[in-house]
Amino acid sequence: MSEPPAAANPAKPALPDFQQRYELLVASISDYAIYMLDVDGYVSSWNPGAERFKGYKADEIMGQHFSRFYTEEDKATGLPARALAAARDEGRFEGEGWRVRKDGGRFWASIVIDPIRSPYGALLGFAKITRDITDRRAAQEALRRSEQNFRLLVQGVSDYAIYMLSPQGEITNWNVGAQRIKGYPQDEVVGSHYRRFFTDEDRAAGVPERALETAAREGRYESEGLRVRRDGTRFYAHAVIDAIRDEYGTLLGFAKITRDITEQRRAAESLEQTRNALFQAQKMEAIGHLTGGIAHDFNNLLAVLSSGVDILNAQQPNAPALRVLESMRRAIDRGALLTQQLLSFARQQPLAAATHQPNALIGSFEQVLRRASGPQVSFVFDLAPRLANIVVDEARFEATLLNLVVNARDAMPDGGTLVLETRNVRLGENEVGTLPAGEYVRVTVRDTGTGMPPEVVARAFEPFFTTKPVGKGTGLGLSQVYGFITQSGGDVQIHSEPGEGTAINLFLPAHEGGGEALAGTAPQAERVLIVEDDQLVMAVACDLFETMGYEVQTAPDAVVALRMLERNGEVDVLFTDLMMPNGMTGLELARTVRARWPEIRIIIASGYPQQALQGDQADLHEFHFVGKPYRIADLARHLRAAD
């Protein structure tokens, strides 16, 4: 029998049992290419697995050099020879790489080359086991790529700081968002403890450590709070810490996601503020209506009393009667003052508004303010140069300052510092209350006194709201300040906290332009036409004019009054109430009369000034105006005033 020289013919019957079984085993393996190379690398055996992977039949490949399974690139670098040399010298060569099938297709192979030696150590050849792991590699590659994509995604997210911490809290990686939000570049921050992002207070209180403990214990920790950027500025953060554990439950570290929610918080806060401001404005509006209504009616009653007292006084009463009348007069005056204060809050007091330089107003009033503040208080005037003008009623402006200074003094029973400051400011829309955007003058009265808790701040403008003992406070100071400033087109702000003192800011629209002044008219006259719908008030007015020697005609409304004038225009004075039924107001009547009978003097009476009703500043100066309750002296003054 002629036998082939190599020992690898699978169908050789003459082999002993052991050898046969071994060859059968190798021959039946199709998942692995198992074959032998001779010392120089020529194929000397081949199994079905090799045939399956590589595509060569045994008789095609036997005796061929194994380098043909390598790619051109690997062949060019001498990889086949190096693999054999490594197996020979180191006892084993293991590797992965692209291999080429007979048809030229490639597969990713895991290979092992073992040297085969004789019992005496002589190298006989090599055993080569190759496995096609293309699928596994593809899976690994896909995983790797998806991990890389994920990493790129995380790294590229700029709205969230996403990073990981070791179980001890050291930063292990960093993304673009983290750099953007916190300001640290990656190389500066990785490896350091994440507590550096917390405020000193939080660090001292152990907040960062507690957060990790909670996350480790409960799997997750969510919080909002102030964090510190690299440049030391603070931002409001929403942070989530998730514990990361392996499949055995060992803590590997933490994933941390932080969002900068400063803007959202600011928006939410300003919405809340706007809501509060609106609520406050509506509340003041409602109280204003109520107060104005009551004060107005009360004024009409006072008018009756006041005129009655005047009439009785004019009838030469005896001494005891005079005393009674005198105390009645005082009570009426007090009542009149009170209603004036209430009307002032309700923005229903006439304003003699004119253009003023606020620093000048303050300067001429300085001595009064200093005296009011008392000797205990050090009073600082901090007036801005080139302060804009404002349009205000001078007397009311002074009363406002006095009110604020007295409040400040009361808040500093043991002395302190009081600052009166003026500034030009530019406001954005709704930055203060509901004021439109524009230039304003801010007048601030600031004290170092007791301050106010929020619930007092919220109610301080309400009339009759006072925290002072009975007899000490009326609760009408700030309500008048508020009424006056808002009636003047401005707004008032209180900044105060208990123990921190108080600052009251008055904002008044800046104005560049000429002042307006009151003009006077009306000489003595003999005939008066009184137009008044309230019978009581009408009776009083008739008495008053009769007392002054006038011949009186009366009309219950404007329409009747016009008809009377048309019939006989023999009237020197028209005395009309402002508010009247039947559509035509006193103001409209006055205008009509002025147009048609320009020689008639006109006086308008009302608890309400025209301004509050018409919203027209000019109307106030168009006619003579008498506030209720009117007294002989007031009427006489207006009647006497030069044309």
CB 133 within 8 A of CB 96: yes
Residue 321: CB atoms within 10 A of its CB come to 13
Query: What are the CA-CA distances from residue 620 to residues 290, 579, 616 (Å)?
Result: 24, 15, 8
Q: Across the strands, what pairs with 116?
A: 125
CB 571 within 8 A of CB 553: yes
Judged by beta carbon, residue 232 or residue 469, the one nearer ligand ADP is 469
Alpha helices in 160-261 (DSSP H): 176-182, 186-189, 200-204, 207-218
Who contacts 626 (Cβ-Cβ below 8 Å, separation ≥6)? 603, 604, 605, 634, 635, 638
Judged by beta carbon, residue 359 or residue 407, the one nearer Mg ion is 407
Least distance CB 295 / ligand ADP (angstroms): 16
The Cα–Cα gap between 289 and 207 comes to: 52
Among 115, 416, 477, 607, binds ligand ADP (CB under 6 A): 477
Stretch that binds ligand ADP, among 150-158, 300-308, 460-468, 595-603 (CB under 6 A): 460-468
CB 176 within 8 A of CB 271: no
Judged by beta carbon, residue 87 or residue 478, the one nearer ligand ADP is 478
Judged by beta carbon, residue 459 or residue 594, the one nearer ligand ADP is 459
- Residue 133 contact among ligand ADP, Mg ion, none, beta carbon within 5 to 8 Å by kind: none
Contact pattern from residue 432 through residue 451 relative to ligand ADP, giving x for each residue in contact according to CB under 6 A and a dash for the rest: ---------------x-xxx
Per the listing, tokens 């809340």 go with 272
Contact pattern from residue 204 through residue 233 relative to Mg ion, giving x for each residue in contact according to CB under 5 A and a dash for the rest: ------------------------------
3-class secondary-structure state, position 447: strand
Among 42, 475, 534, 594, binds ligand ADP (CB under 6 A): 475
Question: Quick one: CA torsion of 561, 564, 569, 573, rounded to 10 degrees?
Answer: -40
Amino acid type, 578: L
Residues within window 369-428 making contact with ligand ADP, judged by CB under 6 A: 403, 407-408, 411
Stretch that binds ligand ADP, among 99-107, 282-290, 374-382, 463-471 (CB under 6 A): 463-471
449 binds Mg ion (CB under 5 A): no
Among 162, 390, 478, 555, binds ligand ADP (CB under 6 A): 478
Which residue number has the CB closest to Mg ion? 477
Among 477, 483, 489, 629, binds Mg ion (CB under 5 A): 477
- Residue 390 contact among ligand ADP, Mg ion, none, beta carbon within 5 to 8 Å by kind: none
Q: Across the strands, what pairs with 258?
A: 161, 239
The pair of three-digit structure tokens given for residue 618, joined into one six-digit string: 């000019």
The Cα–Cα gap between 354 and 347 comes to: 17
Residues within window 41-80 making contact with ligand ADP, judged by CB under 6 A: none
- Residue 479 contact among Mg ion, ligand ADP, none, beta carbon within 5 to 8 Å by kind: ligand ADP
Q: Judged by CB under 6 A, how many residues of this single chain contact ligand ADP?
A: 22
479 binds ligand ADP (CB under 6 A): yes
Stretch that binds Mg ion, among 53-61, 115-123, 406-414, 598-606 (CB under 5 A): 406-414
Least distance CB 408 / ligand ADP (angstroms): 5
Among 86, 352, 419, 456, binds ligand ADP (CB under 6 A): 456
Query: What are the CA-CA distances from residue 218 to residues 212, 223, 242, 243, 363 (Å)?
Result: 10, 14, 9, 8, 67
Q: Are strands 416-427 and 377-383 parallel, antiparallel or unpaired?
A: parallel
Assign 3-state DSSP to the chain and report helix, strand, coil percentages, each to 5.
Answer: 45, 25, 30
The Cα–Cα gap between 426 and 439 comes to: 5
493 binds ligand ADP (CB under 6 A): no
- Radius of gyration (Cα) for the chain, nearest Å? 50
Least distance CB 639 / ligand ADP (angstroms): 37
Stretch that binds ligand ADP, among 247-255, 318-326, 452-460, 624-632 (CB under 6 A): 452-460
The pair of three-digit structure tokens given for residue 284, joined into one six-digit string: 């003041």
407 binds Mg ion (CB under 5 A): yes
Judged by beta carbon, residue 37 or residue 418, the one nearer Mg ion is 418
Who contacts 240 (Cβ-Cβ below 8 Å, separation ≥6)? 220, 221, 222, 256, 257, 258
Who contacts 4 (Cβ-Cβ below 8 Å, separation ≥6)? none
Who contacts 642 (Cβ-Cβ below 8 Å, separation ≥6)? 520, 521, 523
Greatest pairwise CA separation for the chain in angstroms? 171
Least distance CB 447 / ligand ADP (angstroms): 5
CB 439 within 8 A of CB 426: yes
Among 473, 592, 634, 641, binds ligand ADP (CB under 6 A): 473
- Residue 466 contact among Mg ion, ligand ADP, none, beta carbon within 5 to 8 Å by kind: ligand ADP
Judged by beta carbon, residue 133 or residue 419, the one nearer ligand ADP is 419
Least distance CB 424 / ligand ADP (angstroms): 24
Judged by beta carbon, residue 300 or residue 448, the one nearer ligand ADP is 448
467 binds ligand ADP (CB under 6 A): yes
The Cα–Cα gap between 205 and 221 comes to: 17
Judged by beta carbon, residue 284 or residue 593, the one nearer ligand ADP is 284
Stretch that binds ligand ADP, among 120-128, 130-138, 472-480, 574-582 (CB under 6 A): 472-480
The Cα–Cα gap between 475 and 485 comes to: 17
The Cα–Cα gap between 579 and 559 comes to: 13
Binding residues vs ligand ADP (CB under 6 A): 403, 407-408, 411, 447, 449-452, 456, 460, 465-468, 473-475, 477-479, 502
Binding residues vs Mg ion (CB under 5 A): 407, 477
